[in-house]
Every structure is written in C-alpha cells, then in structure tokens.
Amino acid sequence: MSTPEFHDPRLTEQRNPRTQAIDVAPSLDIVDLMNAEDRLVPEAVHACRTEIARAVDLVVDAFHAKGRLVYVGAGTSGRLGVLDATECPPTFGTSPEMVVGIIAGGLPALTRSQEGAEDDTAAAVHDLNAHGVSAKDVVLGIAASGTTPYVRAALGRAQRVGAKTVLLTCSEPPPDVAGACDVAIVVRAGPEVLTGSTRLKAGTATKLVLNTITTAAMIRLGKAYGNLMVDLMAWSEKLKDRGERIVMEACRVDRARARRAVEDAGGSVKLAVVMVRRGVDREAARRLLDEAGGLVRRAAGDPPPVS
C-alpha cells in the first residue's frame, strides 16, 4: 500500500496518536497530556549523549584555538541559539564574540516571524560570511525538522571554509546532510502534542542540548570550581551578591572578607577565590591561574565539600 500524500516522513511533522483528542479535553487533561510528552524529552536527549560529548570536544578545541561556537537556525531554533549565546557572557564571563547566534531574517526575527527567511539559502551564505566564519570555528546548525534550507546552506558554507560542523535536529536528517557534518545529534523525542509545533518537545530538547554543550565546554575551560561558576564578573548588584556568596562558600570566609577580595580582584570572582585560598595578591593569583591553565582547582586546591 502506498503512503498517503498527506503523510510527512519527518518525525516532527507526524501526528501524535496520544493527543488526537486533545481538542475536546479539559484544561487539566491538556496539562497532563503535555507533561507526559515532555517527560519523554530528557530520555531522548540522553540517548544522544555520545554525540553531544563529541560536539563538546569540538567546541573546546575551537575555543583553545581562539575560535568560536556559531549557532545557526531559523524560527524557534534560531531564537534558542541566540538565547544560549546571549546567556554565556553573564554566566561564564566570556566575550560576546565567543558564542554567536545567527538567526534567519536577522534581529527582527527574534521578536516577529520572518516568513520565507528559512528558505533563503543565499542569505545563509551571506550571514556566515558577514560573521567571518573560518576554519577555527564550530558551526552548529539547529533544524528541528532536519531539512531547513537556511541551515543546510549555512552548514555547507561552513564546511567549504574548513569549519567543524554539528547538526542538531529532532527528525531524521537527509543522509547527505548528516554525513557531511562532523557530528549529527538527532534527538528522537517523537511527534509533537500539536502536529508540527516544534516549539514544544523539539524546542525543549534543543534547549537541553545547547545548555549541555556550552556548559560542559565552559567547565572544561575552567569556568567552574567544583560546581561553583566562579568565572563571572561582579558588576551588577545581583552578580555582586552572587560573587560574594561564591567566595564565601569556596573559601569559608565571612561576607566582609569576601567583599574585600572581590573588590581587590577588580570584580573577578575567579581571581578572588585564588587570592583568598592562596593568600596572595591579584597579580600573583593571575600568575597561578595562568600556570594552571585557568583551572581554579589546580591553582587553589580542592574546593570544600558541599555542607
């Protein structure tokens, strides 16, 4: 029997038999149905753990070579890439150029749908060229359906300039696209609660994977001390409070001592921790960190256990 013309082979475009009566369900049942589907996502992400770890290694290598992680996507996928890139500087003290988000349609697409932008392959090439993508970078294309023309063109351009490429998708990608990438992460979370609405499970899966890649890469670079995110700059009141609490926790000192240390470190929590734990000034702490490859544990010893 031939496949009906309305049947789309892409997993994200298929109908979900478990939610086919959702349009007549009361609110609590809708919530339960959505929650049941959402619980499938973490396991689907876990099944891709090897590929995700390989992507992390590529990103770490790129960072060591002064390269970047460049996200490319359209619609929800593009917005999630831009979101993750935007959150790296305040969380890890990185420069805005270290993790970059490119979305089809440009900045206007962040707040308003740009119809047709995902099909503009020439724009994808132009956007990568405008960002100066080179062989030092990792380009991570995000395409929930695995077929977004903008993302495919961007990955192709990245490969031509020698960049490492990663594809993140929630549906089986075309073999030629997946085969051309250094890593293909295919999160099989299944059909959406509402057919084709990839801001749901596919969006959740994408956020989980991007969180994991950048967080793991930053940890590998020495942005954490134990599970404390020490590589932040205490500039806002919220971050000043957080930085002081981190120094208090890592060094077992009171608030006043932690505050002085952060101030003496010019706002750098990472330097403040080394200064207090090793009893040295800022320049000596900086030398110790440089000698330790930026890893606080090597420069200051093991952190105290969680109390």
Distance between CA 125 and CA 107 in Å, rounded?
17
Distance between CA 251 and CA 6 in Å, rounded?
63
Is 118 known to be catalytic?
Answer: yes
Distance between CA 38 and CA 189 in Å, rounded?
9
Check 5, 13, 37, 87 and give the catalytic one: 87
Distance between CA 191 and CA 141 in Å, rounded?
21
Which string of DSSP letters, residue by residue, matches 207-227? HHHHHHHHHHHHHHTT--BTT
Check 37, 51, 118, 249 and give the catalytic one: 118
Distance between CA 187 and CA 172 in Å, rounded?
9
244, 263 contact by CB (below 8 A)? no
124, 114 contact by CB (below 8 A)? no
Distance between CA 26 and CA 68 in Å, rounded?
47
Q: How many CB atoms lie within 10 A of CB 165?
A: 24
Spatial CB neighbours of 19, under 8 Å, sequence gap ≥ 6:
33, 37, 193, 194
* Active site positions, annotated: 87, 118
